[in-house]
Structure 1
Amino acid sequence: MPRVPYAKPAITYPAQLQKLLDRGLNITNPDKALFLLQNISYYRLSGYWYPLLKYPKSEHNFKADSTFDKAFNMYCFDRELRKLVSAELEKIEVAIRAKMIYILSHDNDSFWYRKADLFSDIATHNTSIKKLTEEFKRSDEQFLVTFKKKYNNDLPPSWMLLEVSSIGGLSHFYKNLKPSRSKRDIANYFGLDYKTFESWLHSIVYVRNVCAHHSRLWNRVMRITPIMPTSPKNKWLTTTDIKNSMTGKSSPVNNRTYYLLSMMIYLLEIINPRHSFKDKFIDLLIKYPNIDPSAMGFPPTWMEEPLWQ
C-alpha cells in the first residue's frame, strides 16, 4: 500500500468528546471525560479504549458495553503498574551496577572500563567512554566534585564513574565485554548464562524507558524480546507459551508483560529474597478487577507457577 501524507486536522476537546459518543462509547459523566481529555489527551487515552472496539477495529466502533470509565480504569491500572515496575527496576539496576563494578574491578583494576582489550568492539567502547566523560563533566554529584578538586586523573575509578551511568550505559558495557570469566561471573551471580543475562539486561533498559516515558506497559507487545534461559539456576517458569483463544495457536510469551514481570521476580529473588513485588502486583489486580491478566500475556495457570507463589 503506497504511503500518503497525514492530513487529519486537530479537533477541539468538545469535538473529541462528540466523536467518542458518535462511535458508541458510553459516557455517563461528560464533564469528567472532557476534563480527562484536556489533561491526559485523546491520543494517550486511545490506547486504553482500543480493546473496547468491535472487530474490525479499523472502523473505530465501540462494543455495546464500552464505557469511558472502563478505559480510564485501564489507564489508572497501567499508571500504577508502571510506578510499581519502576520502583523494583531501580533495585535491580543498583544491584547489577554494584556486581559489575565489584567483579570487573577485582579481576582487572579500578579503571577497567578504559581497557580496550577487554571489549569486543573498539568503536562501541570509544562511544561508551565518550558518553561517560560527558556525564562526568556535567555531573554536580558532591563525590565527583571532590574528586575533581583532589585528583589529577581525567576520570575517576569505576565505582565512582559508573554511578552516573544510565542502565543503558551499563548494558552497552556488558554486551561489549569479550567472553571472559568476569562476564560469566556477573551473569552467574544472577543465576543465568552470560548470553541470557545480556539479553535480559537489554530488555530491562527497554522496559525502564517505557516506564520513564509514561508509555503503555499493561498490554504491550515488546519490541525488545528477551531470550529464554536454557538452564536457569533458580526457580523459573514451567510454561513459556500461551494459546491464542481466537486462533488456538500457541506462541512464546517472552514478548509480553508477563514474561518481563517474571524476569523481574527471578532477579529480585536473588537480590532481595524478602521482596514484596508479587504481593503488590496481585493487590493491584484485586484493586482493578476488570483487568484481564491474559491481555498481558498471563497464561491461565500463572498462579500455579512456582516462581509466582
Structure 2
Amino acid sequence: MKKVPYNKPALTYADQLAQVKFRGLIIPDEEEFLSLLELKSYYRLSGYWYPLLADKQNHIFKPGSSFKTAFSIYKFDRELRQLVTNEMEKIEIAVRAKMIYILAHNFGPYWYTNSNLFVNKKWHAETINKITDEFNRSDAQFIRAFKKKYSDPLPPCWTAFEIISFGSLSKLYNNFKPGKSKRELAHWFGLDDKSFGSWLHSLVYVRNVCAHHSRLWNRVMRIQPTYPTAPLNQWLKNSSVHNNRTYYILSIIVYLLQSLDNGHTFVEDLKILLTKYDNIDPGAMGFPPDWEQEPLWNTK
C-alpha cells in the first residue's frame, strides 16, 4: 500500500462527539462523554470502542453500539493493569533478591560490573552505562550516603539493585554466561535458564505497557515468551494456546507467584474481576474455553 502524508485536522471536543455519533456510536450521556474526552483523550478511548466497529477501515459502528460498553472495557482494562502491576512487583522484587544472593555469593558483590561474566561485552557495557546513569541521577538517601563515604564508581549489587530498572535486570540475566549459577536462579523459579530469561524479557515489556497505561486486555504482545522446557511446577496442559496473548502472560504470572507465595490471591482476584465485568469476552484475551479446568488456574 502506498504511503500518504497524514492530513487529518485536530477536532474540538464537540466535533469529536459529533463524529462518533455520525458513525453510529450511541452516547447515553453527552456531558459525561465530553468530560471523558477532555480527561482521557479521544485517541485513548477509541482503542476501547474499536471492537464495536463493523467497518474498521471507515470506523462505522455495529448497530446498537454504546459508549457505555466501550467505557466498561476501559475500566476493566484499567483494573486489570492495576492487578497485574501489583503482582509483577512481587515477582520483580523476588528476582532482584535471588540474583543478588546467588550471584554475589558466587562471584562477589560487584559481579554485575565484571564483563568477563557476560556473553556480549558490548551489550554489557551498554547496560552498565544505563546503571551508571541511574546511579548518578538517584537522590535516594542510601545512594547519597554511599557517594559520600566510598570512592567506588558504583555500589555493590545489593545497593545498586535497589535503583536499577527491571529492564536492566533482565538484560543482565539474559547476557550472563550459561552455567551453574544461572541455572540455579532459574531453577528457584521452576524453570530452565532459557525459558526464565525469555519470561523476564516479556514481563519487562508487559510492565512497560502497564506503566504507560496502554491497553493490555486484548493486546497482541510484540515480545513473545517461550514455551517452557520441562517446567518443574504445574504448567498449562493445553499447549495450543498462543504465547502472544494476555492469557499466556497472566499464566506466567500465576506460575511465578506459586514459587513465591502459595497463598497468593491473583487467580481469585482475576476471576472476581471477570465476573464484575461480565461483558468482557475472555476469548478476546486469548483464554481457551477450558481455562478454568487447568490445574494452574483451578484454585478449588
TM-score (norm: length of structure 1): 0.94
Matched residue, 2:256: 267
Which 4+ residue blocks in structure 1 deviate beyond 6 angstroms?
Answer: none
Residues matched between the structures, number? 298
Matched residue, 1:195: 194
Matched, 1:120 2:119: yes
Deviation, structure 1 residue 122 = 0.9
Confirm or deny: 8 A CA contact 1:240 1:254 kept in the other structure. Answer: no
Once residues 259 and 205 of structure 2 are traced to their aligned partners in structure 1, the CA distance between those partners, rounded to angstroms, is 21
Confirm or deny: 8 A CA contact 1:199 1:226 kept in the other structure. Answer: yes
Deviation per residue, 1:70-105 (Å, 9 max, x gap): 000000000111111111111100000111111111
Q: Aligned runs of 1:246-261 on 2, under 5 Å?
A: 252-261=241-250
Once residues 16 and 116 of structure 1 are traced to their aligned partners in structure 2, the CA distance between those partners, rounded to angstroms, is 55
Once residues 126 and 30 of structure 1 are traced to their aligned partners in structure 2, the CA distance between those partners, rounded to angstroms, is 54
Once residues 274 and 168 of structure 1 are traced to their aligned partners in structure 2, the CA distance between those partners, rounded to angstroms, is 28
For residue 213 of structure 2, what is the amino acid of its counterpart?
Answer: H
Once residues 137 and 11 of structure 2 are traced to their aligned partners in structure 1, the CA distance between those partners, rounded to angstroms, is 42
Q: Which stretch of structure 1 is more off in the superposition, 209-218 or 35-44?
A: 35-44
For residue 46 of structure 1, what is the amino acid of its counterpart?
Answer: S
Q: Aligned runs of 1:53-132 on 2, under 5 Å?
A: 53-54=53-54, 56-132=55-131
For residue 290 of structure 1, what is the amino acid of its counterpart?
Answer: N
Once residues 173 and 47 of structure 2 are traced to their aligned partners in structure 1, the CA distance between those partners, rounded to angstroms, is 34
Once residues 106 and 269 of structure 1 are traced to their aligned partners in structure 2, the CA distance between those partners, rounded to angstroms, is 25
For residue 257 of structure 1, what is the amino acid of its counterpart?
Answer: T
Matched residue, 1:290: 279
Deviation, structure 1 residue 137 = 1.7
For residue 283 of structure 1, what is the amino acid of its counterpart?
Answer: I
Once residues 3 and 35 of structure 1 are traced to their aligned partners in structure 2, the CA distance between those partners, rounded to angstroms, is 35
Matched residue, 1:306: 295
Once residues 102 and 64 of structure 2 are traced to their aligned partners in structure 1, the CA distance between those partners, rounded to angstroms, is 57
Matched, 1:278 2:267: yes
For residue 81 of structure 1, what is the amino acid of its counterpart?
Answer: L
Deviation, structure 1 residue 149 = 2.0
Deviation, structure 1 residue 230 = 2.4
Once residues 117 and 129 of structure 1 are traced to their aligned partners in structure 2, the CA distance between those partners, rounded to angstroms, is 13
Once residues 91 and 148 of structure 2 are traced to their aligned partners in structure 1, the CA distance between those partners, rounded to angstroms, is 32
Deviation, structure 1 residue 182 = 0.9
Deviation, structure 1 residue 142 = 1.6
Once residues 102 and 17 of structure 1 are traced to their aligned partners in structure 2, the CA distance between those partners, rounded to angstroms, is 56
Once residues 42 and 102 of structure 2 are traced to their aligned partners in structure 1, the CA distance between those partners, rounded to angstroms, is 49
Deviation, structure 1 residue 10 = 0.8
For residue 89 of structure 2, what is the amino acid of its counterpart?
Answer: E
For residue 307 of structure 1, what is the amino acid of its counterpart?
Answer: L
Confirm or deny: 8 A CA contact 1:52 1:62 kept in the other structure. Answer: yes
Matched residue, 1:169: 168
For residue 259 of structure 2, what is the amino acid of its counterpart?
Answer: I
Deviation, structure 1 residue 32 = 1.1
Which runs of no fewer than 5 residues in structure 2 stay unpaired?
Answer: none
Matched residue, 1:206: 205
Deviation, structure 1 residue 262 = 0.3
Matched residue, 1:245: none
Deviation, structure 1 residue 65 = 2.2
Deviation, structure 1 residue 172 = 0.7
Deviation, structure 1 residue 152 = 2.2
Deviation, structure 1 residue 240 = 3.0
Deviation, structure 1 residue 153 = 1.9
Matched residue, 1:39: 39
Which runs of no fewer than 5 residues in structure 1 stay unpaired?
Answer: 242-251
Deviation per residue, 1:141-170 (Å, 9 max, x gap): 222222222222222111001111100000
Alignment partner of 1:59: what SS? Answer: coil
Matched residue, 1:49: 49
Once residues 92 and 151 of structure 1 are traced to their aligned partners in structure 2, the CA distance between those partners, rounded to angstroms, is 31
- Cα RMSD (Å) of the superposition? 1.0
For residue 251 of structure 2, what is the amino acid of its counterpart?
Answer: S
Determine what percentage of the aligned residue pairs are the same residue. Answer: 57
Once residues 270 and 71 of structure 1 are traced to their aligned partners in structure 2, the CA distance between those partners, rounded to angstroms, is 37
Matched residue, 1:248: none
Once residues 176 and 127 of structure 2 are traced to their aligned partners in structure 1, the CA distance between those partners, rounded to angstroms, is 12
Once residues 2 and 60 of structure 2 are traced to their aligned partners in structure 1, the CA distance between those partners, rounded to angstroms, is 26
Confirm or deny: 8 A CA contact 1:171 1:198 kept in the other structure. Answer: yes
